[in-house]
Amino acid sequence: MNLALAKTETGRALSDILAVARDRLPGAGGVADARRQAFDAYQRAGLPHRRIEDWKYTDLRVLMRDVLPLAAAPDAAALTRAGKASKLHAIEGVRRLVLVDGVFAPGLSETADLETGLGIRTLREVLEAGDSLAQPQLFAPDSSDAMVALNSAMMTDGLVIEVADGTVLTKPLHIVHIASGAVPSAMFTRSLLRLGKAAGATLVESYIAAEGAKTYQVHDSLVVSIGDDARLDHVRLIEDSREAFNISSALVSLGAHAHFNTFGMTSGAIVSRYQAVIAVAGEGSRVETNGVNLLNGRQHADTTLFLDHAVPNCSSREIFRAVVDDRGHSVFQGRIIVRPKAQKTDAKMMTRALLLSDEAEADNKPELEIFADDVTCGHGATTGALDESLLFYLRARGLSEKEAQALLIQAFVGEAIEQIASDSLRELAISAAERWLAARG
């Protein structure tokens, strides 16, 4: 059924925002035309709402209501605040690539002495140069989702990273998204990562706020192409301000015998949504997606994954954990589709939620759509509270109630965190979880 949607005040305001920001958006000619088409697609749909099945539990018309004006380009003071925040979240042994208020910050980034086979450009450079090879990939997901279309229309900057055939990076790449200002605003970023045949890389993404940054919106998209026999390890940490909104999307495509291992942890932002479409397009590939939501107060975090098995002899594993306190709300939607030609698919999904208060809520919706007859597939979902007998056991051995709860929560989320391949990045995720536990009342 087609619905005719009247233009809302939000729609008119966003049109004004686009008109004002147009001179700041990189790219002309075909890029400007693609932006207009993407914005038209967004306007036809508007902010996602609960009548859209994939957004059933995250009604942005209620939760977010409108889109904030585009953030101003960071000035010297903003870059100074961002630099301090970056140091607080620094990771040893990585190549840091910093985006401040949606704009690449070369002074805070490490782009010198690139490894052989690694190329890094900014999105602004690529769009302004009219790169005919990169642009189709950058704009490919426009029609898939209203928020992705909005991101296409408004994207200001990001990274375009290319890893050549046979190149295995020794240093992880760390993209740091920093909100620097106290003025409510929105950042629109998009990055492209292309791994060549038999290449290997580790990508870390962090979303953080500088001191004084409170109410802001992050609109981010990541487009990933993993070549034949290549491997990508991916870690996402959402530690935004507790008044921020984070809407992130990913489009991932795997070649033959490729391996994609991804982990995400959300402990920040008042409202967040991570949606990923993973296309297993080459035989013999493997996907491991793992995630943890750590929520309290009135936080709302939504993880929605769509895994598309299109070819034979591939496998996938999804492990998701949610710990929800106070009036927090965790959402997990996982859909695995097995196409008719995808025989010998081995796909499993398991989501568990731990509720720490009577008002906490967790919605888990695992789905399987199987159109092949020689497959091994399964899914499950559980929701419960901490085991009182285990709490009693630990407290009887001298632990306080908070210490006993923390120990059980760490064990609960540990199965997902343990899937991170890198020891140092696993410790990074554990540290983020410990910070959340220490901050609990």
Over the stretch 248-265, which tens digit does the pLDDT of each residue have? 999 999 999 999 999 999
Name the domain count of the chain: 1
Mean pLDDT of 401-417: 91
Burial class (CB in 10 A: 0-12, 13-18, 19+), 45: middle
The answer to whether residue 351 scores a pLDDT higher than 50 is: yes
Extract the tokens encoding 69.
């004006």
Question: Rounded to an integer, what distance in angstroms lies between the CA atom of residue 363 and that of residue 332?
Answer: 6
Q: Cβ neighbours of residue 421 under 8 Å, at least 6 residues apart? A: 233, 261
Reported as a single tens digit per residue, the pLDDT across 17-59 is: 777 777 788 887 888 888 888 888 888 888 999 999 999 999 9
Half-sphere exposure of 100 (CA within 13 A, CB side): 24
Q: Is 386 inside any structural domain?
A: no
Q: What is the pLDDT of residue 136?
A: 75
Cα 280 to its chain centre, rounded Å, is 19
Q: Which run of H or E residues covers position 85?
A: helix 76-88
Question: Rounded to an integer, what distance in angstroms lies between the CA atom of residue 300 and that of residue 355?
Answer: 14
Lowest mean pLDDT of 140-149, 159-168, 265-274, 424-433, name the range.
140-149
Q: Is 115 inside any structural domain?
A: yes
Structural domain harbouring 143: 9-282
Q: Is 411 inside any structural domain?
A: no
Angle 63-65-70 (CA atoms, 0-180°, nearest 5)?
115
Q: Is 137 inside any structural domain?
A: yes
Mean pLDDT of 197-215: 96
Q: Is 201 inside any structural domain?
A: yes
Question: Rounded to an integer, what distance in angstroms lies between the CA atom of residue 142 and that of residue 138?
Answer: 9
3-state secondary structure 298-341: CCEEEEEEEEEECCCCCEEEEEEEEEECCCCEEEEEEEEEECCC
Q: Is 355 inside any structural domain?
A: no
The answer to whether residue 9 scores a pLDDT higher than 70 is: no
**What's at 249, amino acid-wise?**
S
How many other CB atoms are found less than 10 A from the CB of residue 393?
A: 12
Lowest mean pLDDT of 4-8, 125-129, 224-228, 418-422, name the range.
4-8
Q: Is 90 inside any structural domain?
A: yes
Name the band, by pLDDT with cuts 50, 70 and 90, for residue 236: very high
Nearest Cα to Cα of residue 205 among 126, 264, 293: 264
The answer to whether residue 61 scores a pLDDT higher than 80 is: yes
**Cβ pair 201, 165 in contact under 8 A:** no
DSSP-assigned letter for residue 68 = P
Q: Is 110 inside any structural domain?
A: yes
Question: Rounded to an integer, what distance in angstroms lies between the CA atom of residue 211 and that of residue 84?
Answer: 9
Question: Rounded to an integer, what distance in angstroms lies between the CA atom of residue 243 and that of residue 255?
Answer: 39
> In angstroms, what is the C-alpha Rg of the chain?
21
Reported as a single tens digit per residue, the pLDDT across 136-152 is: 778 766 556 899 999 99
Half-sphere exposure of 425 (CA within 13 A, CB side): 28
Question: Rounded to an integer, what distance in angstroms lies between the CA atom of residue 422 and that of residue 233?
Answer: 9
**What's at 389, amino acid-wise?**
S
Q: Which run of H or E residues covers position 121?
A: strand 118-122
Q: What is the pLDDT of residue 65?
A: 87
> Listing from the earlier edge strand, what are the strands of the sheet with 271-280?
118-122, 159-163, 185-195, 216-226, 245-254, 271-280, 300-309, 329-338, 361-370
Q: Which run of H or E residues covers position 378?
A: strand 376-384
Backbone angles phi, psi at 109, to 5 degrees: -110, 165
